[in-house]
């Protein structure tokens, strides 16, 4: 996934690390665009219109991604892979030309029937905005299956905490402030809760002094340019926290926070302005912090 993982486990049984590695290897084998023989790469290489049977985990992520795409009006799009490639954020680098037209709302060009899916146009699945969250949930489930009640799992900044620390305190986590911006520390307790952050500083390219975020707006076919520095979402699952953080980032401060309010999401958004950082907080998050 191009990132690191960590797990803090209270009274960890032997073999925990090996179990986690196995879970992550399974996710990569199914959902990594950087692996030519992964299930997602093979799906994207199939002729348009060809039905392909997908592994259970990959189908779960695809169905969830399409649900969030529908609810967000396409701000989150699990089929935005062609645009990701064209802007140089995929495994092939810039594939250009950047002005090449893509289908409007790529997610609508994916069809599911039972355990199979197909492409209705030349679009490509890309789970970079949801797969890390799914992997966090999968690791958490594997630990629960081992009988572990107290742990904190982290993959590339996406987290899930369950139970308590050895000192019986909850898993306190400070939300990362975007570089160059000063904001008050937002400290949250992850008690059977997940958190995910999408930020323009995590993966980007600098072209002629312009910071180009890896988050692609499917409506324009270009990297987002709405000055959203970061979005953090708290949710019962890391997969949905991950996807919704991406959706709100793409939607922008006004539409994004309207979306968070409508969906009752606990969300925190940091906007870059000439005067510095401007923070937005959804009603659900404000209620959690009271």
Among 5, 14, 16, 4, smallest CA distance to 144 is for 16
Is pLDDT above 70 for 60?
yes
Q: What ranges in 150-279 are assigned the alpha helix state H?
A: 238-251, 253-262
Percent of the chain with pLDDT over 70: 89
Confidence of residue 179 (pLDDT cuts 50, 70, 90): confident
Is pLDDT above 80 for 207?
no
Largest CA distance in the chain: 56
Among 135, 111, 131, smallest CA distance to 121 is for 111
**Going by C-beta distance under 8 Å and a sequence separation of 6 or more, which residues neighbour residue 126?**
33, 40, 78, 79, 80, 81, 84, 90
Cβ atoms 188, 172 nearer than 8 A: yes
Among 154, 146, 148, 147, smallest CA distance to 171 is for 154
Confidence of residue 3 (pLDDT cuts 50, 70, 90): confident
Cα distance between residue 119 and residue 183, in whole Å: 43
Is pLDDT above 70 for 95?
no
- Report the mean per-residue pLDDT for the chain: 90
Distance (Å) of CA 196 to CA 28, 179, 248: 19, 17, 12
Among 49, 73, 77, 52, smallest CA distance to 64 is for 77
Is pLDDT above 90 for 205?
no
Q: What is the pLDDT of residue 208?
A: 52
Q: Helix, strand, or coil here: 109?
A: helix
Q: Helix, strand, or coil here: 26?
A: helix
What is the helix (H) or strand (E) element at residue 232, kind and residue range? strand 228-235
238-251 vs 56-71: helix crossing angle, rounded to 10? 40
Tally of CB atoms within 10 A around 14: 7
261 alpha-carbon distance from chain centroid:
19
56 alpha-carbon distance from chain centroid:
19
Is pLDDT above 70 for 97?
no
Q: What is the mean pLDDT of residues 197-201?
A: 80
Q: What is the pLDDT of residue 86?
A: 81
Q: What is the pLDDT of residue 59?
A: 98
Cβ atoms 265, 244 nearer than 8 A: yes
Q: In terms of residues, how long is the chain?
A: 290
Is pLDDT above 60 for 209?
no
* DSSP character string of 149-210: --EEEEETTEEEEES--TTS--EEEEPPPPTT------EEEESSEEEEEEETTTSEEEETTE
Radius of gyration of the chain (CA): 19
């Amino acid at each position: 996934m191009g990132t690191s993982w960590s797990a803090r486990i209270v009274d960890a049984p032997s073999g925990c690390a090996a179990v986690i590695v196995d879970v992550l290897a399974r996710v990569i084998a199914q959902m990594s665009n950087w692996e030519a023989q992964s299930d997602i790469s093979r799906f994207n290489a199939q002729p348009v219109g060809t039905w392909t049977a997908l592994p259970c985990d990959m189908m779960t992520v695809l169905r969830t991604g399409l649900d969030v795409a529908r609810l967000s009006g396409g701000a989150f799009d699990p089929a935005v892979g062609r645009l990701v490639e064209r802007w140089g954020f995929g495994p092939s680098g810039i594939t250009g030309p950047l002005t090449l037209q893509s289908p409007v709302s790529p997610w609508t060009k994916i069809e599911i029937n039972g355990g199979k899916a197909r492409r209705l146009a030349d679009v490509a699945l890309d789970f970079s905005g949801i797969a890390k969250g799914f992997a966090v949930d999968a690791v958490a489930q594997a630990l629960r299956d081992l009988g572990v009640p107290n742990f904190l799992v982290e993959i590339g900044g996406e987290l899930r905490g369950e139970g308590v620390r050895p000192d019986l305190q909850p898993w306190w986590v400070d939300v990362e402030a975007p570089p160059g911006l000063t904001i008050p520390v937002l400290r949250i307790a992850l008690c059977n809760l997940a958190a995910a952050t999408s930020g323009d500083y995590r993966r980007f390219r600098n072209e002629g002094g312009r910071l180009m975020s890896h988050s692609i707006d499917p409506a324009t076919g270009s990297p987002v340019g709405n000055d959203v520095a970061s979005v953090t979402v708290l949710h019962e699952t890391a997969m949905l926290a991950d996807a919704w953080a991406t959706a709100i980032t793409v939607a922008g401060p006004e539409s994004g926070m309207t979306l968070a309010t409508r969906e009752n999401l606990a969300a925190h958004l940091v906007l870059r302005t000439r005067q510095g950082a401007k923070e937005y907080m959804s009603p659900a998050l404000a209620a959690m912090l009271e």
